[in-house]
A and B are shown apart, each in its own frame.
Chain A
Amino acid sequence: ETGVTQSPTHLIKTRGQQVTLRCSSQSGHNTVSWYQQALGQGPQFIFQYYREEENGRGNFPPRFSGLQFPNYSSELNVNALELDDSALYLCASSFAGTSYEQYFGPGTRLTVT
């Protein structure tokens, strides 16, 4: 059984740019959720993907968007980056239907300058 992986590990971008982060879900899982974790805070839910569609969304603006692919991997895209977007971005995979358990990847540390 393989765990959740994310790429890249670290990323530095300039305000106004766009960024794409990637996540591979744990084998056997079909759902991916994305979270933003600011320094010293708990993770905040961005959105969830199931069957290649957005299945639920937290309080984040439309410039945060995503995709899920047939192999259940996922991307998080952020347009028009702002300084406050600097955070650790975590994805979590789960299996919809029988379990609520979510397992996190190692995260991508995004710094916006």
Chain B
Amino acid sequence: GENVEQHPSTLSVQEGDSAVIKCTYSDSASNYFPWYKQELGKRPQLIIDIRSNVGEKKDQRIAVTLNKTAKHFSLHITETQPEDSAVYFCAALLGGADGLTFGKGTHLIIQP
């Protein structure tokens, strides 16, 4: 089955700086890579996703890049704000019926 590794487990950045979270996956057949943001006590919220036929996708301050050859993808958040503080999860989908395989999460802390 698929295996997703996520780094770092905790990331602390100054407000206004950029944050980068990286994930690697094991199965080259995976074709969909979403990122979720989960605030304490709340549901995971889909913030951006990318399919395997695309190398980069951007939505305002967040962007995701995918390197299929190296089997890794990254989340980039620019101009970080206090409300960006949360746990971020990457995930990979092997096939429509297989369910998402999640990384262990990154606790992003935005320092004022």
B70 contacts A by Cβ under 8 Å: no
Name the residue on B nearest A43 (C-beta): B102
A62 contacts B by Cβ under 8 Å: no
Which of A11-19, A64-72, A102-110 is the interface stretch? A102-110
Partner of A48, one of B46, B97, B104: B97
Within 56-113 of A, Cβ neighbours of B (below 8 Å) are at 56, 58-59, 90, 92, 96, 100-107
Q: Closest Cβ of chain A: how far from B33's Cβ, in Å?
A: 10
Q: Closest Cβ of chain B: how far from A11's Cβ, in Å?
A: 16
Q: Closest Cβ of chain B: how far from A65's Cβ, in Å?
A: 16
Most buried by B among A90, A101, A102: A102
Q: Please, how many residues of chain B have a CB less than 8 angstroms from a CB on the other chain?
A: 26
In the complex, the answer to whether B99 meets A45 with C-beta atoms within 8 Å is yes
In the complex, the answer to whether B100 meets A43 with C-beta atoms within 8 Å is yes
Residues of B within 8 A of A47 (CB): 99
Name the residue on B nearest A58 (C-beta): B99
Residues of A within 8 A of B105 (CB): 40-42
Residues of A within 8 A of B61 (CB): none
In the complex, the answer to whether A96 meets B43 with C-beta atoms within 8 Å is no
A residues adjacent to B (C-beta < 8 A): 4, 33, 35, 40-48, 50, 55-56, 58-59, 90, 92, 96, 100-107
24 CB contacts below 8 A, A to B, read A4-B43, A35-B99, A40-B105, A42-B6, A42-B102, A42-B105, A43-B102, A44-B102, A45-B98, A45-B99, A45-B100, A46-B99, A47-B99, A56-B95, A58-B99, A96-B96, A100-B49, A100-B51, A100-B93, A101-B34, A101-B46, A102-B100, A104-B36, A104-B43
